[in-house]
Amino acid sequence: MRKNIIYIASALGIIIAMSSCSNELNLAPVSSISSTNYWKTPDQFDAFVSGVMSAFRANTLQFEQLGELRADVFGTDPGANAAFTGESTANYQFFWANTLNGNNAGVTNFGNFYFNINQINLLISKLNSTNIVSPTNKNYYLGMAYGLRAFYYFQLLKSWGKVIIQTEPTTSIDISKLSKPASSADSVMALIKSDISMSEQSFGSDYSFRNLKSYWSKSATLMLKAHVYLWTAHRGGGTADATTALAALNEIQTNVPSLQLLPNFTDVFSYNNQGNNEIIFSIHNGLNEATLPFTSFLVNPNLLASFYDSTQNRQFNVTTDNWGGGDLLAPVMISTFRRFNDLDTRKWASITAAYNLVNGKYQIAGCFASKYQGQQNAGIRVYTNDYPIYRYSGLLLLKAEAEVLLGQSPANEINIVRQRAYGANYNPAMEGYPNQPIDKNPDPFESILQERYFEFFYEGKRWYDLRRMGDKYVYEYTNITPAESYKLLWPIDMNTLSNNSALQQNPGYPLF
């Protein structure tokens, strides 16, 4: 019997998504409790919204996997020590090798996104038929709901192309057991743009943030709008869509003047600096609440203790360097580490390199991601850092991208980001745009792609950046060739296909 029917714990204000006994599409009906005993007070609406955001947080790992693991970031290099080649890869190697298929799809059941889509559909329906919520909260929650649904469908579109559209809550039948075909990519994009518009209208002139910026906001909707319209600008939308994207970004800057880059890059991600002035929208974590699901991306401290930290000229130890304890599923490639300039503070704030000490000389053994430092609690490192979805540096680099599409110079925005990255080492004649070697490339998108690579490492962005700017960049920076263009989309896992006979595997992938 399926257990992913929603239960509402009104005292806690949390949606408890019970695990499913199968990987069927998570669109099971909402429990009758939600209609007979719920939606009676403003507090119950508040609790349900909190539950939707909790369910959104539960998708953190899928956001990272879909947005980065297939790109040129994680993996193994020749010569890496065995401790940094994936102790137990658990099929993670299929991500960066781009050898996914229906049996090893990497992300199954469409990331489980449809569970929360159904909750959002219910929230929209109930908000549109109630008068017990204050107008301010009602409009804010509708803005959140439409924005979040657009975000989910944009993730689905970028990953699988054609997907099932469901905009009504399922309250009487379990559509996960029905044959429902996918809608065209054009139809999905139309829904995304429509939901963005509805979100903007609902928020109106309310540019406020809530809950340390862990609740969706109008600024989040405008960031999503910029991403969506830049995606279509690169696909025939041209200057019209680029203009729309630029206008959305300018609107944020005009109406939220408090947004700015923090002077110190590492402070952006600190567990005790959540909701800071650089964050636009993030997934919140906290001690005794929730933690980042990334411990398996970290090296076992008992293995790490055999190596050295060349920056501090010391050997690692299990007490201070208690990073993980699980298997290193996704090591950072040594080549990724070496792509960063040593003067770039983002290098040392994002990746830790481990070395062997041979005859008094350091020889690199491997790397792991260390952007999220967590906090020490009773001798255990707990990953209570927020996971950023949108940051102000992202706004600046999206502006740069739109400016290039419109034939304008991206220098101002790129240099603001670079200046923070290099700090006291920043020399405009060396590090400023257009003076870095990459800037000499006649294709200005190469500079933006590189800057985003350094800025958003381990934030689920790189694969989507390559996809957004065009297929040629995927072929340039990953091991996918033009002859394998079908790999631009993800395969649908076999269990999902078996449970919905109306779904078809994405073209190119074996049907088994």
Alpha carbon of 318 to those of 116, 415, 491: distances in Å? 39, 39, 40
Encoded tokens for 282 = 């993030």
Say if pTM beats, i.e. exceeds, 0.75: yes
Distance CA 98, CA 501 (A): 26
Choose among 503, 504, 469, 501: nearest CA to 488. 469
**pLDDT tens for each residue of 66-125:** 999 999 999 988 889 988 987 666 789 999 999 999 999 999 999 999 999 999 999 999
Give the contacts of 303 (CB within 8 A, at least 6 positions apart). Answer: 83, 87
Distance CA 113, CA 117 (A): 6
Reduced 3-state DSSP string for 88-146: CCCCCHHHHHCCCCCCCCCCCHHHHHHHHHHHHHHHHHHHCCCCCCCHHHHHHHHHHHH
| DSSP state for residue 57 in the 8-state scheme | H
Residue 498 has pLDDT above 60, yes or no: yes
Lowest mean pLDDT, pick from 242-251, 324-333, 418-427, 432-441: 324-333
Judged on CB neighbours under 10 Å (0-12, 13-18, 19+), 106 is buried
Distance CA 31, CA 249 (A): 40
Contacts 24+ apart (CB under 8 A), 1-7: 2/28, 2/174, 2/176, 4/28, 4/115, 5/29, 5/30, 5/31, 6/30, 6/31, 6/34, 6/119, 7/31, 7/33
Residue 184 has pLDDT above 60, yes or no: yes
**pLDDT tens for each residue of 117-149:** 999 999 999 999 999 999 999 999 999 999 999
Alpha carbon of 392 to those of 218, 388, 399, 455: distances in Å? 14, 10, 11, 11
Give the pLDDT of residue 327: 79
**pLDDT tens for each residue of 100-111:** 999 999 999 999
Beta-bridged to residue 286, according to DSSP, are 290
22 or 386, greater pLDDT: 386
Alpha carbon of 310 to those of 85, 260, 337, 370: distances in Å? 20, 33, 14, 15
* Structural domains in the chain, sorted by start: 1-68+108-206 (1.25.40.390)
Give the contacts of 22 (CB within 8 A, at least 6 positions apart). Answer: 2, 495, 499
**pLDDT tens for each residue of 17-60:** 333 333 356 665 555 445 678 999 999 999 999 999 999 999 99
Distance CA 230, CA 246 (A): 9
User: How many beta carbons lie within 10 A of that of residue 204, not counting itself?
Assistant: 12
Give the pLDDT of residue 512: 77
Encoded tokens for 109 = 């059941």
Give the pLDDT of residue 19: 31
